Structure 1
Amino acid sequence: MDNSSLSDIACNQTEAWSWLYSMQPFYMSTICFLGLLGNSFVLAVFFLEKRCSSVADIYLANLALADLFMLSCLPFWVVTIINEFYWTFGQAMCQIINVIIGMNYYCSVLFLTLVSVDRYLVLTRPLSHGRDRQAIWAKMICFSIWISGILLSIPAVLFRSVQYLPHLGIEACYLAYPHDGWRLRYNFTVILVGFLIPVPIVSYTSYHIVKVLSSSQRISNNCKNTERKAAFLVLIVLATFIVCWLPYQGFLFLDTLDHFSVLTGCTWGNALDIAEQMATYIGYSNSSLNPFLYVIVGKQFKQRAKEVLRVVLCKRWERGQSGYFNGNVTSRQYESTKI
């Protein structure tokens, strides 16, 4: 939470804040539990599968990893919100937690954009970028995105600190910019990197993906059916990301107007901050939705997950049978136990 948010709490302690304190921890705990479970499962499928990962697999695995990092940080904020924003985890954790959360947003949108571009290149220019689609290139691109996400989250290190706030009577993990110019730079960066740049790219590639898939002359029926399933999953994941994060972008824009005094008033500021809090955690819910989209929409992913589960269960059964025979059980005794 930043300086304007905490001042708004002091400005007008309304019933809405009491409702937020009671409902938001339950909501955050739910998406945290489901998201950790789901993204761990997705990563297990990608890593345990024997076949070589495609470029899209690498991007989606990195997306799941980014979501997993972010969701692992939410319990700290659950406890903090229950304590009405009193921070009990120290200065270092205040910075680390918020760097990871901020990094997740940038990395997620960039990984999704890469998946969309990859599907576009596969369908429209299958012969013109063979080497660029090699796994090593994809891994290098992913590494650069992780570095970029960390660099874009540097304000959390520079300006986050645990401070005692006399007007609230608490020690808060407080984001205090030295002047409004830094806050406006942050808002502009989030809007630019998280919306204005990726959305046109995703819209362009999605339009051409749909256009190519609707043409039976460009690709064979079998290939078309396979790519349609993969592309449909990508489009659903992209649409879900936009729906989850669009409210946050809108309220961030209104927050910028508030700092320019285009919108003024204590009541307005308090309402804006409550709405921004809610929009932020609606956006975080996207991290827990993706794994379920893979299972519900991604038929290929379901097949791969079933294959991984089959292999794991078979190995466990073989180890169990090996232990059974090693326990001085004879072949005749084993045969007598079979139905």
Structure 2
Amino acid sequence: MTAPYSPPPWLSANSSAVSSNGSCEMDEEALRLPLAVFYSLFFVFGLVGNLFALWVFLFLHSSRNSVRVLLINCAAADLVLLACLPFRVWYHLAGNRWALGAVACRLVGNLFYMNMYVSILLLGLVGLDRYLRLQGRGRARRCCGPRLRGRRRPWSWAACGAMWGLSLVGLVPMIAGAEDSEDAGRCFQFKKRLGATGKAYFNAALVLFFWLVFVVLVVSYARIALQLLRVSRDKPDLPNAHKYQRTAKKSFFVLFLFAVCFGPYHAFRPVYIHAQISPGVACRTLRLADRTNEVMLLFSAFNSCLDPVMYFLLSGSVRKAAVQALGHRLGGRLPFLTDATSNSSTVEFRRSSVPAALPEPGLTPRTSICALNATLRRADAAPRQPK
């Protein structure tokens, strides 16, 4: 005679399954201090890096192109996200108690998520812009940009304006609408959405949006890297051709940033959303989902510290302007800072005997790719010398 079936402990009634009203006390004590420490470090390093990057973009970087506009907006989005971190630090240090009210909680939480996805979109647009320029379609987009004060602006001005406008419009209902399981003394905690499934489905749409941007980045930077590797392999006689293999590897840093910072969070996000909208889920399961989501969210916030590294790694002209500024501020006491900028690609190519040389990888993404296309066309069209 077989024994009667008994459900596993995490699904049984005596395992503190959540009732239909969503009552389940989250055990957040173990993560409270680590979250406060990591968010504090992210705030300090991210604030310094993004303020420095914004200063370089606005006052030192002379290039006026779409990539510069996108990176300026990306640094601004990171700064708004970083402004939300002190509230999280204070919340965790206060024993996970919120004293500013439910509206302030929703404002800080939704601003955090809004600017995270704004950064994702902007990085996707940077990759798409570089890819389109590799295909030689940059001139058509420049002709379609908005005209402000009598001058034609890059297309990214209109894209960023529409992006911020739609983000702020979408933010209003998220702040105004109350949660169905809201506690005035808590914030940033797991919430059941049995009566607010619309927000859960909206979060699911954001997950799909992230993976779409990720696919765009993979295709864009893979094509860019393959083109650079092909140039370094097929045209080794061109100046600086040997450096394009290194530049191709740098292009994959953005993909690495996405995979490390945003990938784990969005891979786990469907499980978290399912736990929010499913009734009768064991409390132990919800606690595990809550703790895992908090850890994955740390990786996403870490992106605000890595973005300035990406700016200076991928854009040689930005790196040159920043290093020169640091060298001047330090009064020449660190000569390696000024030596790092002495290898100017412009000077080198003016002295080169080749009339149409490939640009040094130190140019901006837009300039280097456009020059790469033009040089490749001239090199392919030039008559072959008999051997």
TM-score using structure 1 length:
0.76
Quote the Cα distance in structure 1 between the aligned partners of 2:119 and 2:311: 16
In the alignment of these two chains, the number of paired residues is 302
Q: Does the 8 A contact of 1:229 with 1:298 survive in 2?
A: no
Number of the residue aligned with 2:132 = 121
Matched, 1:189 2:205: yes
Read off the aligned partner of 1:172 and give its amino acid letter.
R
1:99-118 CA deviation, whole Å, 9 max, x = no partner? Answer: 32121122111101110011
Quote the Cα distance in structure 2 between the aligned partners of 1:187 and 1:161: 14
Matched, 1:254 2:283: no
Number of the residue aligned with 2:15 = none
Number of the residue aligned with 1:47 = 58
1:276-331 CA deviation, whole Å, 9 max, x = no partner? Answer: 011112211111111133345654432120234456678xxxxxxxxxxxxxxxxx
Question: Structure 1 residues 158 and 222, CA, compared in 2 at 3 Å: closer, same or farther?
Answer: farther
Equivalences for residues 271-310 of structure 1 within 5 A: 271-295=288-312, 298-309=315-326
TM-score using structure 2 length:
0.67
Structure with a larger share of its residues in helix: 1
1:131-181 CA deviation, whole Å, 9 max, x = no partner? Answer: 24764321111111112322343453133579984xxxx622476757242
Equivalences for residues 43-122 of structure 1 within 5 A: 43-49=54-60, 51-122=62-133
Number of the residue aligned with 2:374 = none
Quote the Cα distance in structure 2 between the aligned partners of 1:188 and 1:162: 18
Quote the Cα distance in structure 2 between the aligned partners of 1:93 and 1:113: 30
Q: Does the 8 A contact of 1:39 with 1:64 survive in 2?
A: yes
Read off the aligned partner of 1:276 and give its amino acid letter.
N
Question: Structure 1 residues 34 and 50, CA, compared in 2 at 3 Å: closer, same or farther?
Answer: closer
Report the more deviating stretch, 230-239 or 50-59: 230-239
Question: Structure 1 residues 8 and 296, CA, compared in 2 at 3 Å: closer, same or farther?
Answer: farther
Q: Does the 8 A contact of 1:116 with 1:202 survive in 2?
A: yes
Number of the residue aligned with 2:219 = 204
Match of 2:143 among 117, 120, 131: 131
Quote the Cα distance in structure 2 between the aligned partners of 1:68 and 1:306: 22
Quote the Cα distance in structure 2 between the aligned partners of 1:42 and 1:139: 19
Read off the aligned partner of 1:185 and give its amino acid letter.
Y
Read off the aligned partner of 2:226 and give its amino acid letter.
K
SS at match of 1:270: helix
Match of 1:148 among 161, 166, 170: 166
1:232-257 CA deviation, whole Å, 9 max, x = no partner? Answer: 55531242123211111122111233
Match of 1:235 among 235, 238, 252: 252
Quote the Cα distance in structure 2 between the aligned partners of 1:218 and 1:113: 30
Number of the residue aligned with 2:281 = 264
Read off the aligned partner of 1:237 and give its amino acid letter.
V
Quote the Cα distance in structure 2 between the aligned partners of 1:60 and 1:270: 38
CA RMSD of aligned residues (A): 3.5
Q: Which structure has the larger Rg?
A: 2
Number of the residue aligned with 1:172 = 186
Q: Does the 8 A contact of 2:194 with 2:278 survive in 1?
A: no
Quote the Cα distance in structure 1 between the aligned partners of 2:237 and 2:257: 29
Give 5+ residue unaligned stretches, structure 1. 315-339
Give 5+ residue unaligned stretches, structure 2. 1-17, 146-151, 332-387
Report the more deviating stretch, 220-229 or 84-93: 220-229
Identity of aligned residues (%): 23
